[in-house]
Structure 1
């Protein structure tokens, strides 16, 4: 269960960093930063990994591939 909490924590950290980064660009009256897409992708990846983490901890034929 430790990996699930870790991935959730990292996902929320990426949400905070992405929000702050986007807010700074909006305040500076610039366009949406291209790094914002990277933050969105990392957040989705972390949340998906937190959902799937218990299945990856079991040692079965899926993890051997």
Structure 2
């Protein structure tokens, strides 16, 4: 059975909703775990969603 109302969230076009990525540096900590960096999407700033723009700004091309 399908739900009557599905949430309509706007997903970021740049990261497709995967807002952060963890990158291995290749190094290890003293306890043996990997040293990683977490990087956020610059377009949505790590939220995974975009905000709606106002119609006036869409028409002005900004």
TM-score, normalized by length of structure 1?
0.33
Bigger proportion of residues as strand: 2
Using CA pairs under 8 Å that are at least 6 residues apart, name the structure with larger relative contact order, 1 or 2: 1
TM-score, normalized by length of structure 2?
0.34
Bigger proportion of residues as helix: 1
